Structure 1
Amino acid sequence: MSAKDRARRLIAYEAARIIAEEGINDYLPAKNKAAARLGITNSRSLPRNEEIDQALEEYLRLYRADTQPQHITRLRRLALEAMRFLEEFSPRLVGAVLDGSASKYSPIVLYVYPETPEEIIKKLIEVGIPFRERSFSFNLGHRRGVTCPALDFYVDGVRVELAVLPPELKGQRINRKEKAVPGGSLHDVEKLINGSSPSKLRLGT
């Protein structure tokens, strides 16, 4: 293994530990923090996001084997309740909660496809769910820097991030920060938790 490959591997594992233990969910800040801690200054040594995903899966398998299955099941049940609440907007679960690599700080990330963002905002306001508005950036094919609205709210203390996408993107794979993210439909999530009935949740808390 070359020195460059060793550096990439070390950064990937340290970045994975940072994501799992310190609540930094974005890849680039985790990479940079890991590189700084390891004293690696060559930016070409930064690992790809996929390498960090692999390192995170290994970290959780080694250090969270006793608690990770229960943690993922809880998050998927929370996601399912949020998806049922937003069913009219064709929600899809993506990211770490879907693939099982979510840490204790990971949010639930959902893609929703309303005709207009105001439809989502109105629904949250009608039931009294506090939310925060922000933006969501991703790459789509050869298009770079596509930005859409996003909304954050909480379900039983877990942050839910809604990426509010236009209906014409429904069913497309969106590349975000180098990582191809497939989506999980409501039915897919129900199957993931083996059809068990999630307990009643406290939306907005």
Structure 2
Amino acid sequence: MPRRSKPTPFASTTHRREIASLAARMMAEDGIDDYGYAKRKAARALGFGEGDLLPGNDEVEAELRAYQAIYQDEEHPRRLRELRGIALDVMGFLADFNPHLTGAVLDGTAGRYAIVDLDLFADSAKDVEIMLLSRNIPYDISEKRLQDGQEAKLRIEWDGTPVSLAIYPPLAERQVRRNPHSGHQHNRAKAGAVKALLAEPAIPAAPVPF
């Protein structure tokens, strides 16, 4: 699709909204968890460039929450609860490594095919690998570039759901970081906080600070 001519300020606002809306739908339906990738893909699909038209992550998140509330009003809360339950199970299994839930499963925007993101804190990433091997749990080592402070990133499956294990040294727990996908502060929740979320009668519409 050919690129469109440079928009007026009014059209630019409309285009940003269109991109944000489509990016949100892609995240909800296709399991995309990277805001930047979703925005660029949506812009290309709509025939726009990738310059100033791209909406902010907050705009996409607002559209994502709206989409889930309207089109996935029954499916999304049920699936989110399932994912948080899986997260809690894995956190119990990996309790020796001080696991914390992060990402979309924590903040409530997890899509249909979301990955459960856990941060682990260990003296050595090998300690985590040895435990997985001792329990006959297959895992893959991520080939992607590691984020600041990460020692390794592993991926396992738990009840058919992919779980990402980002491994940090123990002191990294005190550091405040940014989520590389959303740009927001990287919130974490311990097992007790996840249990509290599961005990609530309804899924909160906004992230809960921990």
Scaled by the length of structure 1, the TM-score of the pair is: 0.86
Please give the per-residue CA displacement for 1:113-163, whole angstroms capped at 9, x wherever unaligned: 00110011001101011110014644xxxxxx5554100000111100011
- CA separation of 1:14 and 1:195: change in aligned 2, threshold 3 A: closer
Query: Are 1:78 and 2:86 an aligned pair?
Result: yes
Shift in Å, 1:19: 1.2
- Please give the secondary structure, in 2, of the residue aligned with 1:20: helix
Quick one: distance in 2 between partners of 1:185 and 1:2? Answer: 45
Does the residue aligned with 1:173 lie in a helix, a strand or coil?
Answer: coil
Taking the aligned partners of 1:104 and 1:71, their CA distance within structure 2 comes to 7
Report the alpha carbon displacement of residue 181 of structure 1 after superposing the two structures with TM: 1.9
Amino acid at match of 1:179: H
Name the count of aligned residue pairs. Answer: 190
The alpha-carbon deviation at position 98 of structure 1 amounts to 0.8
Which of 192, 199, 202 matches 1:194?
199
The alpha-carbon distance between structure 1 residues 149 and 92, as it changes in their structure 2 partners (threshold 3 A), is same
Q: Secondary structure at the match of 2:52?
A: helix
The equivalent position to 1:131 in structure 2, one of 139, 144, 149, is: 139
Instruction: Please give the root-mean-square deviation of Cα atoms over the aligned residues, in Å.
Output: 1.9
Contact 1:113 1:170 in 2 (8 A): yes
Residue 120 of structure 2 contacts residue 165 of structure 2 at CA under 8 Å; is this kept in 1? yes
Task: Provide Cα deviations, 1:82-123, integer angstroms capped at 9, x if missing partner.
Answer: 000111111110111111111111100000000110011001
Q: CA deviation at 1:74?
A: 0.7
Q: Find the residue that maps to 1:150 and give its secondary structure.
A: strand
Question: C-alpha displacement at 1:5, in angstroms?
Answer: 2.5
Q: Partners in 1 of 2:172 and 2:146 — Cα distance?
A: 14
Counterpart for residue 164 of structure 1: 167
* Map of 1:155 onto structure 2: 158
Q: Say yes or no: does 1:28 pair with 2:33.
A: no
* Conserved? CA contact 2:80–2:105, under 8 Å: yes
Q: Quick check: 1:20–1:104 contact (8 Å CA) kept in 2?
A: yes
Q: How far, CA to CA, are the matches of 2:173 and 2:140 in structure 1?
A: 23
SS at match of 1:151: strand
Q: Shift in Å at residue 28 of structure 1?
A: 2.2
**Would you tell me which structure has more strand in proportion to its own residues?**
1
1:95-114 matches, cutoff 5 A: 95-114=103-122
The answer to which of 68-77 and 24-33 deviates more is 24-33
Show structure 2 runs of 5+ residues with no match: 1-8, 202-210
Check whether the contact 2:120–2:166 (CA below 8 A) recurs between aligned residues: yes
Percent of pairs with identical residues: 33
Determine the C-alpha separation between the residues in 2 that align with 1:147 and 1:164: 6
User: Normalising by structure 2, what TM-score?
Assistant: 0.84
Q: Distance in 2 between matches of 1:16 and 1:81?
A: 29
Mind listing any 5+ residue stretches in structure 1 that lack a counterpart?
A: 139-144, 197-205
